[in-house]
A and B are shown apart, each in its own frame.
Chain A
């Protein structure tokens, strides 16, 4: 793995970089950062079957994030090893795979059961305590391009003592993971510390001292406020070397992504668009916001200026695509009326939900990847702060108008 920063925002921490992955025999991809890693379930992007993946923008969509814990139900590490690792097993030789112990959907950290031996997670197959040695066994068999180390993530409300213990454990497990590492995948050292600025600083300093290729910052989206976050992010960033990539977990909303980018984060996960899609929403905000004048009128179509609710009755007869000029698979092939029908029909039958999400998810992924592309362009043009402010203002305007 190689990483290089190519541009900085004016007087800020936001940066554009490029991440090169090439450890797998056939793999050679270069992803521009800030980038979105696609959330997967058992290694495949949720709902989007592998033959539809090439319809997403390349190479932007070629970085996938997975949770090794997903494979604990049903597959042994030995079998995955026999198949030749995850790239082979998933038929995704041209994709970069990043392992993070948890996802933000079905495998969540369960701090009360974590102990000094390992981290505990709620998984679809029950609560599991994962020790560094077990985690590294999974990593060795799966051979991801990069992986973050085991972390003891705690919510913002735990005691100071518990928070301190989580930093101690996370740093100790980092050493264990490095020691046990047998694959060539790049190690991202995990940084925790809850909402305590001191603990965050201590953790960042400890991890920065280790031989790692990048950083994974956890413990967000656990009850801290958005205002607390900036201070925490800044103290962590101040203690990390500039030349290494930083990945974050728990920041998903557009505003949160912009906050993370402003602090100097390079890699984000796409849990947000997964949840958005499950709710029947499609992203519609204009992507050339920075150039266009701010004349966007709040619409009455179940919209909040950034997204629309495809289940809304108003789309029943709407034969136009989700976004008119969008060139994603969904917008090129299907109307809002058709997706509205699929969503409504399945709700009525209470069936296992499948294909109606495929279309919405493809569009949302496409749209969010384009959002990241706009962010990079804004940084390069030295206009990131204006871009961010404009985005936040337009949402706020909408709130004022509707309230």
Chain B
């Protein structure tokens, strides 16, 4: 899911997103509630209509931005208290309010408000956050006014502690929600701990409900998490890295700012079928990146195309029963290092997970 913070993916039009094959995009509740406000979006017929996006949309709870963007966020049992960016006054976002705002925005999938803590924190705060997330999910469910149109996802918290994660997963599964997210990751923890949490959660979540790993979006993470049984991801990485002049390619990344690109007449990724790779040389993109808007427009297009292609490839390789082999072929296509790296983190994670579906 590409992230469209403000009801737009930076540098791309909605028809380009359809062309690339995006099925669902993410809107940030926090930003949309500030501008143009959820009331206005509601009045104008919901976010789909407002941004003219005929496919699926997901909105987050708004809690994460408050914690990550604002210094003075304080979380209590009532909700998240934060300083208003408009007038500096303290404001409170409760689970009820988050759902109400998301009901007004009208995305197909809405997220419960959770108590977010840094994964690198240890101690009782993790436990408190997990239990609070469970208490808040009931308040979210009770406040949800459009359960037949919008799917409320619960978020598994519990830091890196397998016991806490287990309690949280069980608690959420008992509520029989339309889908589940694995939260509190991608916050600076080491990869090995990260895979373990994902593996544990996916093993315990029901098979017939989608699983969304929040904040995860590096190509490698997506391949590994998919192997562990996750279904959905979001990340600003493809578009953000594009703005800094970096292209995603099967071998890893290509820094178009590098002087070596100045006379390189090859496409960004010779194996890519996207509009950018079919038309432009590395040399031309080199002369655009970080100086002209068009540079990030073109690289964002390529990077999202790359991520969509990666997802489609994962999808079809699972259907065709070639899954563990296909990433190998994919990453070997230029350099073996990527695959070796993948193998070294992927195999232990899978082995330790004792996942019933991954027979190794």
Contacts and interface: CB of A to CB of B under 8 A. Distances in A.
Interface of A: 41-42, 44, 46-47, 49-52, 71, 73-76, 78-79, 82-83, 89-91, 124, 316-317, 319, 329, 333-335, 337-338, 340-342, 344-346, 348, 352-359
Interface in B189-220: none
Contacts of B298: 49
Given A49-B301, A90-B284, A338 B52 contact: yes
A317 B287 CA distance: 40
B351 interface: no
A355 B280 contact: no
Contacts, number: 122
Interface in B1-38: 6-16, 19, 31, 35-36
Q: Which 4 A-B pairs rank lowest in CB-CB distance, beginning with the nearest?
A: A91-B279, A74-B287, A79-B263, A341-B36
Interface string B278-322: 111101101110011110111001000000000000000000000
B121 interface: no
Contact of A83 (B11, B15, B16, B265): B265
A41 B288 CA distance: 9
Contacts of B284: 42, 75, 83, 89-90
Interface residues of B, number: 44
B275 interface: yes
A72 to B, nearest CB: 9
Given A52-B16, A345-B36, A352-B293, 9 more contacts: A41-B292, A41-B294, A46-B293, A51-B19, A333-B15, A338-B51, A341-B50, A345-B31, A354-B293
B19 A342 contact: no
Contacts of B301: 49
Contacts of B265: 79, 82-83
Contacts of A317: 40, 43-44
Nearest to A342: B8
Contacts of A124: 291
Nearest to B257: A74
Interface string B41-82: 001110000111000000000000000000000000000000
Contacts of A342: 6-8
Contact of B294 (A49, A71, A76, A91): A49
Contacts of A49: 16, 294, 297-298, 301
B292 A42 contact: yes
Contacts of B165: none
Contacts of A75: 262, 283-284, 286-287
A338 B48 CA distance: 11
A354 B283 contact: no
B256 to A, nearest CB: 10
Given A79-B283, A89-B281, A334-B52, A355 B8 contact: yes
Nearest to A333: B52
Contacts of B291: 73-74, 124
B243 interface: yes
Contacts of B279: 50, 90-91
A74 B52 contact: no
A51 B16 contact: yes
A341 B7 contact: yes
B281 A83 contact: yes
A91 B278 contact: yes
Contacts of B275: 50-51
Nearest to B35: A345
A233 B172 CA distance: 78
A316 B293 CA distance: 26
Given A73-B287, A316-B36, A337 B293 contact: no
